[in-house]
Chain A
Amino acid sequence: MKPSDLLLPWRLMMMTVVSALLSALLLLCTGTVLAAEASVAVASNFAPVMPALAAQFERDTGHQLGIAYGASGKFYAQIRNGAPFQVFLSADDEKPAQLEKDGAAVPGSRFTYAIGTLVLWSPKAGVVDAEGAVLAKGGFQKLALANPRLAPYGEAAMEVLRGLGLAARLQPTFVLGENITQAHQFAATGNAELAFVAQSQVWKDGRLASGSAWVVPARLHPPIRQDAVLLLPGRGQPAAEAFLAYLRSDKARAIIHKHGYSF
């Protein structure tokens, strides 16, 4: 081995360090012009999609995202009271519309970024059949769903049960999560045998990650329209506006679709 071979990794490392330092310096000088950061409030059901989506967006545009997950109702209250979010991805279409009416969102910036899919899920294999007949058959103690008063997925689940004529009979088995994440958590920890969840929570790479599931046909409930809106602090912010535009791109839609949403 020649001495220069020994030095090769060292040189490579030095080059990496120097270029990293240089780009950091460059970012410091020009960061405000070239790349910016947008703060985004995201409904919990969309949380499984965001890491992949944000990473792709950041790679493609150079902008950064600061993401907060939570219940849409909580975000609504916070935004009304001056929370500095620039973009809001809601779990429904009512809250973005209401924010626009309240004067907290930029008029005309609203659009549906995804339509959610409801799934009846059990963490155990062989519990939920492909037709959802387990609901009528019984044999479970607890059925978890998101609070229908608060969460569109809970409302949709109730609509399905009403349509099947099972709402009153299954009422005593209900346990309500404050949002769809908690409904999923109740089943994932084994405390409820069944749960109505968002497809995104149990889907991975285009198929069911574990357990058993019934993908509820869309005709059994009104569509779960999830709207995005540009909030006042985001007006004229390049990163915020770029992200909203990106959400409608084919690239973004492919990622969103893979997680179990339609358009």
Chain B
Amino acid sequence: MTWLSAEDWQALALTLRLAAVVTAILFVVATPLAWWLARSRRRWKGVVGAVVALPLVLPPSVLGFYLLIALGPQGPVGQLTESLGLGRLPFSFWGLVLASVVYSLPFMVQPLQTAFEAIGERPLEVAATLRASPLDAFFTVALPLAGPGFLTGGILTFAHTVGEFGVVLMIGGNIPGVTRVVSVQIYDHVEALAYAHAHRLSAVMLVFSFVVLLAVYGWRGRPVAKGAA
């Protein structure tokens, strides 16, 4: 416990909680979106796909800036949350959750979309001939077949949220236990010239990130299980 300070542990716990909540929300939000993207023939599917992928390309400073204004008292989201009695989102845990859901959206949607596309029409047509309703077929056929996509999407979303920095810095307000996540805590250590603290916490992040990626790539690279054929 002396290796990391109490504040470091608090930041770690907060980061893991944030990542877990964001991943759970994105499972629910991204699944229908990815399903629609994988199966729709509509012309504006490309537009939706591009919007979903935007956070991959936009600098966190752009996202953070827009979120700060949109969630603020004069912004559309801010006015909505205030009229609903939810208060203001910037500088709060749920503000970070909302920002992270936006920021990590493509990391969940894209693996799921790929997994759904890989299933193809065939298994669902077969399910339909066996009188499965579309909803039934989705839950009993498509979801299990897309299992690896869910695993990849879940791990990438979780890891990406843990690694978030710029957006949190811009809308978090650096409140201990509420918005001060690990990346911000490390930044603080570096800025305060507390390099020993920064080293320790950075090492934790490095090992964590490596293990997560090893899990993803190890899963992808594993030999096909015998029963699968």
The chain A residues found within 8 Å of chain B, CB to CB, are: 71, 73-74, 76-77, 98, 141-142, 144, 147, 149-150, 174-178, 182, 185-186, 189-192
Given A142-B91, A191-B88, is A176 in contact with B173 using a C-beta cutoff of 8 Å? yes
In the assembled complex, B138 has its CB within 8 A of some CB on chain A: no
Q: Which of A178, A190, A191 contacts B187 (CB 8 A)?
A: A178
Contacts of B148 in A (CB 8 A): none
Report yes or no: B191 in contact with A71, Cβ–Cβ below 8 A: yes
- Per-residue A-contact encoding for B157-192, CB less than 8 Å = 1, 0 else: 000000000000110011100000000000110111
Partner of A191, one of B72, B169, B174: B72
Kindly state the separation between the CA atoms of A58 and B115 in the bound complex, as whole angstroms: 60
- Using CB atoms, name the residue of chain B closest to A74: B191
Tell me, in angstroms, the Cα distance from A185 to B90 when the chains sit together: 13
Is residue B207 within 8 Å, beta carbon to beta carbon, of the partner chain?
Answer: no
User: Which residues in chain B, 178-229, are within 8 Å of chain A measured between CB atoms?
Assistant: 187-188, 190-193
Question: Do A175 and B174 have beta carbons less than 8 Å apart?
Answer: yes
A150 touches B188 (CB 8 A): yes
Q: Which residues of B contact A71 (CB under 8 A)?
A: 191
A190 to B91, CA, bound (A): 12
Instruction: Give complex CA distance A253, B68 in Å.
Output: 36
B175 touches A176 (CB 8 A): yes
Residues of B within 8 A of A178 (CB): 169, 174, 187-188, 191
B: number of interface residues (CB 8 Å): 20
Which A residues are CB-close (under 8 A) to B74? 190
Restricting to B49-67, which residues have a CB under 8 Å from any CB of A? Answer: none
- For A151, the closest partner residue in chain B by CB is B191
Task: Say which residue of B69, B175, B190 sits within 8 Å of A73 (CB atoms).
Answer: B190
Q: List 25 A-B contacts (CB under 8 A).
A: A71-B191, A73-B192, A74-B191, A98-B193, A142-B173, A147-B174, A147-B188, A147-B191, A149-B188, A149-B191, A150-B188, A174-B175, A175-B91, A175-B173, A175-B174, A177-B174, A178-B169, A178-B174, A182-B170, A185-B68, A186-B90, A190-B74, A191-B71, A191-B91, A192-B173
Distance in angstroms between the alpha carbons of A48 and B214 in the assembled complex: 47
Q: Separation in Å of the B169 CB from the closest CB of chain A?
A: 6
> Which residues of A sit under 8 angstroms from B188, Cβ to Cβ?
147, 149-150, 178
Collect the chain A residues with CB atoms within 8 Å of residue B90's CB. 186, 191
Complex Cα distance, B69 from A190, in Å, reads: 8
- Which A residue sits closest to B169, measured CB to CB? A178
B residues within 8 A CB of A150?
Answer: 188, 191-192
Q: In the assembly, what is the distance between CA of A41 and CA of B214, in Å?
A: 40
Q: Which residue of A lies closest to B71 (CB)?
A: A191
Distance from A3 Cβ to chain B, minimum over Cβ atoms (Å): 56
Which of B73, B175, B187, B190 is within 8 Å of A175, CB to CB?
Answer: B175
Give the distance to chain B from A192, nearest Cβ to Cβ, in Å: 8
Q: Are A73 and B169 in contact (CB under 8 A)?
A: no
- Given A142-B91, A175-B91; A190-B191 close (CB under 8 Å): no
Alpha-carbon distance A191/B190, docked complex (angstroms): 27
Known: A76-B193, A189-B68, A191-B90; 8 extra A-B contacts, CB below 8 A, are A73-B190, A98-B193, A141-B88, A150-B191, A174-B175, A176-B173, A178-B187, A191-B91
Q: Which residues of B contact A190 (CB under 8 A)?
A: 72-74
Contact status B68-A149, CB under 8 Å: no
Q: Mark B90-107, 1 if CB is under 8 A from A, else 0.
A: 110000000000000000
Q: How far is the CB of A104 from chain B (nearest CB, A)?
A: 13
Give the residues in chain B near A144, CB-CB below 8 Å.
173
> From residue A98, how far is it (CB to closest CB) to chain B in Å?
8
Q: Are B68's CB and A191's CB within 8 A?
A: yes
Look across to chain B and name the residue whose beta carbon is closest to the beta carbon of A147.
Answer: B174
Structural contact, A149 and B192, CB atoms closer than 8 A:
yes
Chain B neighbourhood of A192, CB < 8 A: 91, 173
Q: Closest residue to B187 on the A side, CB-wise?
A: A178
Complexed CA–CA distance, A142 and B92 (Å)? 11
> Bound state CA distance, A215 and B190, in angstroms?
31
- Choose among A73, A176, A185 the residue with the greatest number of B CB atoms under 10 Å from its CB: A176
* Alpha-carbon distance between A141 and B68 when the two chains are bound, in angstroms: 16
- Tell me whether B193 and A77 are in contact (CB under 8 A): yes
Q: In whole angstroms, what is the CA distance A71 to B174 when docked?
A: 16
Contacts of B71 in A (CB 8 A): 191
Is B68 a contact partner of A77 (Cβ separation < 8 A)? no
